[in-house]
Every structure is written in C-alpha cells, then in structure tokens.
C-alpha cells in the first residue's frame, strides 16, 4: 500500500510542546507554565451577550469578510485607540491569529519568495511561510540588544526575492517591545527595499512600559502593512478562534478568495463575542492587563533572587524569557530538569529558534499564588542554588 501521508508530513520528531503534553499526564501536582493559554475565563458579560445573539439566530454563515457590525466596530476601535482611519474594504474577520498568518502568506507569496522572521519567533511562523511555499529567512536578535531588530544585520538578508518581514511586538517569546526608534528604522528599510510588514499585533494590550504604536501609523507604512489582530490574548478568548486582518484592499480580496475555500466564514458566535468584547473593552480589559502585568513583574522579581538565572527589565506580553546560560546546560536540559525535579512545565527557548538557545520561556498562565509555588520549587533545584 502507498504511504497515506504526504511526504511533507512524514516527519515523526516530537516538538517541545508534544513532550510537555506527555509529561502532563504523569503527575498531579504539575504547574503548567508552558503554552500561552492562561487560566482567566472570558468575561461573562461577553459570553451572555453572545448566547443571546445565538438564540436570536446568529447561528449561520456570515458575510465573507465578517459581520458588517463587527467590521464597523473594528474600524471604530482603530480610530479611537490609534487615530487611524480604516476603510471597511480593508478589514477581514478571520478564524484566529494562526490561520490569519497562513492566509496572509498564501495571499502575498509566490513560490520561493522570502519572508524575514526575527529569531526568537512564535514557533509556527516558519511553517506558515513554508505552507504558502515561501522561504523563511531568520534574522538573529540578541538579549544584549534588547531583542531589538538590528538594521545592519537586516540589510544583509535582503535579496530580490524578499517579500515581507514579520513583526511581533510585544513579543512572544522574549517579552521585548520594539522601540519607536527601531520601528522608524524598519519603516525606512521597508520603503527603501519595497518590502511588506506583516504585523502580528496579538499582545498589544500588554505593552506595560511604553504605549503600543501600530507600525501602520509610522511614515508611509500604512500601504505596506498587513496587520493581524487576534482577540485570543487581549480579551482572553483563545478558544473562540477569532481575529481580524487589516491591509490594502487587494490583499483583503485575495484573502477572502483563499478563505472561502478553507473555512468559508469565521464562526458566527465567535464574531458576536468579538463584537461585544470590543464594545465592552473599557470595562473588561483593565483588569486583564493589570493581572498579567503583576504576574510578569512577580516572576521577574523572583528570578532576580535565583542564581544562574537572569531576565531583561521592562517589555510586555505575558511571557518571561530568563537567560539560563550560566547553568552550563542547554535550554532543553534545563527545561527537562525543571520538569522532572520541580514538576513545573516551561518551554525551552530554542523551541522558538536558534537565538532562543540559553533561555527558557515561562508563560504567566496562573495567578501569583501558583507562580510563587512554582518559583519556590525551582529555586531549590541544585543548578539554581
Ligand atoms: N501570534 C503569536 C505571537 C502568538 O503568541 C499566538 C498564540 N500564542 C498566535 C499568533 C496565535 O493566536 P491565535 O491563533 O489564538 O489568535
């Protein structure tokens, strides 16, 4: 019999996430700080309104680009938050940030086109580029440079096939936020080389030290920026699978064509929830932001008191990315020991690219009480005393 599985999917190697899931089943005192899906439950007001809408008949396919009311609310959000005018034709409601990145890549790439990805990166990016038959080109970023993008290094990667660069600020996994100075330089670079920016704006509410500025606002970037804006993290709605894409009308039209053949339309009830979340954001978001800010600050404070572990100050998102190089062990070894000895699950930094080697990623998925227990266990480990 022929192999049923396409050659592209015959690899059997386990991912870092896969190993974590195996371990989860083994013990009942595990504190899981691995994947980015926190314990907070979506606001009950949003859920109630969504349920009312479902009962009123919002249970069907919607407009291809999403409910017009939701699109209008997204445009209003951009105007109120960032003073940017977005046309309705520039908005597409999609089924989560992950699928949005794939749709964008599929829409903009010809076979072999190159996409620059700052490393460390959100693990699926290279595969999303590859699925769309593009080539992922990694741009190293370093803690010593605050994980900012170094333009000289970026310039060296440009070829005549470079189509886009992916930006994610506040960042997963490093927590770093791109400075306005870096964003201005990236804008000049993109203009000079005619390169698009795909902005994965998923942690925008969690820019704790500086105000988040969307890159589409800088210089003439509006015409060359495609923004992905997920509800997953900013509104703790990971399970709803809803996001939006903002970009030039022709890109949105191409995305609509592709999406029609993949999911047709984004789930109606998730769109209703997104609509209500946006409308109620001033009531519901401050508490979420405050909670993550205090969790991140708590983790950083604890790390300060641990030998062989250090972390950069400032930044955002709800991840902490401590440097563990002075243990003399690899990211994978440290992660495994923390898992075995402390029963705490974190992810090895190199699961997020080569530049993540020497780091671990802690996701602030639980409240301070549990985080405190996790750090109490970790700091007793031989390699950290
Ligand atoms: N981008 C980044 C940087 C992320 O961290 C995540 C989720 N962890 C996503 C995209 C995907 O989010 P979703 O598909 O839930 O919108």
Specify whether the CB–CB gap between 137 and 156 falls below 8 A.
no
How far is residue 339's CA from residue 345's CA, in Å, rounded to a whole number?
5
Confidence of residue 25 (pLDDT cuts 50, 70, 90): confident
pLDDT at position 16 is: 60
Confidence of residue 94 (pLDDT cuts 50, 70, 90): very high
Name residue 115's beta-bridge partners. 136, 164
Specify whether the CB–CB gap between 91 and 74 falls below 8 A.
yes
Specify whether the CB–CB gap between 256 and 69 falls below 8 A.
no
Q: What is the Å distance from ligand 1's center to 247 Cα?
A: 18
Confidence of residue 181 (pLDDT cuts 50, 70, 90): very high
Smallest CA-to-CA distance from 144 within 189, 99, 176, 96 is with 176
- Chain centre to alpha carbon of residue 173: 8
Angle at 101 between CA 247 and CA 360, to 5 degrees: 130
pTM equals 0.96
Position in ligand 1 atom list of the atom nearest CA 122: 3
Mean pLDDT of 30-55: 96
Question: Is 209 or 100 the better-scoring residue by pLDDT?
Answer: 100
Tens-digit pLDDT profile for residues 333-343: 999 999 999 99
Residue 157 has pLDDT above 90, yes or no: yes
What's the fold here for domain 7-42+283-384?
A: 3.90.1150
Which residues, at least 6 apart from 81, have a Cβ–Cβ distance to it below 8 Å? Answer: none
Q: Residue 282 corresponds to which tokens in the numbers above?
A: 């001033």
Residue 298 has pLDDT above 90, yes or no: yes
Q: What is the Å distance from ligand 1's center to 97 Cα?
A: 5
- Using CB atoms within 10 Å of the CB of residue 11, give its burial: 0 to 12 exposed, 13 to 18 middle, 19+ buried: exposed
Specify whether the CB–CB gap between 366 and 291 falls below 8 A.
no
Query: Which helix (H) or strand (E) is 268 found in, with range?
Result: helix 268-279
Confidence of residue 349 (pLDDT cuts 50, 70, 90): very high
Tens-digit pLDDT profile for residues 219-239: 999 999 999 999 999 999 999
Which residues, at least 6 apart from 256, have a Cβ–Cβ distance to it below 8 Å? Answer: 64, 65, 92
Mutate to test the pocket of ligand 1, among 16, 37, 96, 97 (most ligand atoms within 8 A of CB): 97
**What is residue 148's three-state secondary structure?**
coil
Interstrand relation of 135-140 and 162-167 (parallel, antiparallel or unpaired): unpaired
> Residue 316: how many CA atoms within 13 Å on its side-chain side?
22
How far is residue 355's CA from residue 200's CA, in Å, rounded to a whole number?
19
Name residue 226's beta-bridge partners. 198
Mutate to test the pocket of ligand 1, among 34, 99, 122, 201 (most ligand atoms within 8 A of CB): 122
Write out the CATH class of domain 58-281. alpha beta
How far is residue 307's CA from residue 69's CA, in Å, rounded to a whole number?
53
How far is residue 385's CA from residue 381's CA, in Å, rounded to a whole number?
7
pLDDT at position 19 is: 66
pLDDT at position 13 is: 62
Mutate to test the pocket of ligand 1, among 34, 147, 233 (most ligand atoms within 8 A of CB): 233
* Protein residues whose CB sits closer than 6 Å to any atom of ligand 1: 36, 96-98, 122, 168, 172, 200, 202, 230, 232, 238, 243
Residue 11 has pLDDT above 80, yes or no: no
Q: What is the Å distance from ligand 1's center to 379 Cα?
A: 30
Residue 40 has pLDDT above 70, yes or no: yes
**What is residue 283's three-state secondary structure?**
helix
Cis (ω within 30 of 0) for the bond into 73?
Answer: no
- Chain centre to alpha carbon of residue 366: 18
Residue 17 has pLDDT above 70, yes or no: no
Mean pLDDT of 192-196: 98
Q: What is the Å distance from ligand 1's center to 34 Cα?
A: 14
Q: Does this chain's domain 7-42+283-384 share its CATH topology with 58-281?
A: no
Smallest CA-to-CA distance from 293 within 203, 169, 178, 206 is with 206
User: What percent of the chain stands above pLDDT 90?
Assistant: 92
Cβ neighbours around 144 below 10 Å, total: 7
Q: Where are the alpha helices (DSSP H) in 175-264?
A: 180-193, 231-234, 249-260
Smallest CA-to-CA distance from 309 within 326, 295, 296, 330 is with 326
Mean pLDDT of 74-89: 97
Q: What is the Å distance from ligand 1's center to 383 Cα?
A: 32
Residue 8 has pLDDT above 90, yes or no: no
Residue 55 has pLDDT above 90, yes or no: yes
Mean pLDDT of 1-7: 89
Mean pLDDT of 245-258: 98
Q: Residue 360 corresponds to which tokens in the numbers above?
A: 């671990």
Would you list the domain boundaries of the chain?
7-42+283-384, 58-281
**What is residue 169's three-state secondary structure?**
coil
Specify whether the CB–CB gap between 263 and 64 falls below 8 A.
no
Mean pLDDT of 191-204: 97
Q: What is the Å distance from ligand 1's center to 203 Cα?
A: 9
């Amino acid at each position: 019999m022929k192999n049923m599985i396409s050659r592209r999917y015959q690899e059997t190697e386990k991912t870092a996430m896969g190993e974590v899931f195996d371990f989860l089943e083994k013990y009942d005192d595990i504190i899981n700080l691995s994947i980015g899906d926190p314990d907070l439950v979506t606001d009950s007001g949003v859920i109630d309104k969504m349920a009312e809408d479902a009962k009123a008949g919002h249970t069907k396919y919607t407009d291809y680009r999403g409910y017009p009311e939701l699109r209008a609310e997204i445009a209003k959000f951009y105007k109120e938050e960032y003073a940017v005018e977005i046309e309705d034709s520039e908005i597409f409601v999609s089924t989560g940030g992950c699928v949005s990145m794939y749709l964008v890549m599929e829409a903009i790439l010809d076979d072999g086109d190159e996409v620059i990805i700052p490393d460390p990166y959100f693990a699926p990016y290279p595969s999303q580029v590859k699925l769309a038959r593009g080539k992922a080109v990694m741009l190293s970023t370093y803690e010593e440079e605050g994980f900012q993008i170094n333009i000289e290094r970026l310039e060296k990667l440009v070829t005549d096939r470079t189509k886009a660069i992916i930006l994610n600020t506040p960042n997963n996994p490093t927590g770093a936020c791109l400075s306005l100075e870096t964003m201005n330089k990236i804008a000049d670079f993109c203009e000079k080389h005619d390169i698009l920016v795909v902005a994965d704006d998923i942690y925008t509410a969690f820019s704790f030290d500086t105000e988040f500025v969307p890159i589409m606002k800088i210089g003439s970037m509006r015409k060359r920026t495609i923004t992905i804006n997920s509800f997953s993290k900013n509104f703790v709605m990971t399970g709803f699978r809803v996001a939006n894409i903002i970009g030039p009308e022709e890109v949105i039209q191409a995305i609509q064509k592709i999406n029609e053949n993949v999911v047709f339309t984004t789930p109606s009830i998730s769109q209703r929830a997104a609509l209500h979340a946006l409308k109620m954001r001033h009531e519901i978001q401050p508490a979420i932001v405050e909670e993550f800010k205090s969790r991140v600050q708590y983790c950083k404070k604890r790390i300060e008191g641990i030998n062989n572990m250090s972390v950069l100050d400032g930044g955002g998102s709800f991840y902490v990315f401590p440097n563990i190089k002075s243990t003399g062990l690899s990211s994978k070894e440290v992660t495994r020991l923390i898992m075995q000895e402390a029963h705490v699950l974190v992810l090895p930094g190199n699961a997020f690219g080569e530049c993540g080697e020497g780091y671990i990623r802690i996701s602030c998925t639980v409240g301070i009480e549990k985080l405190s227990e996790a750090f109490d266990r970790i700091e007793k480990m031989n390699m950290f005393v």
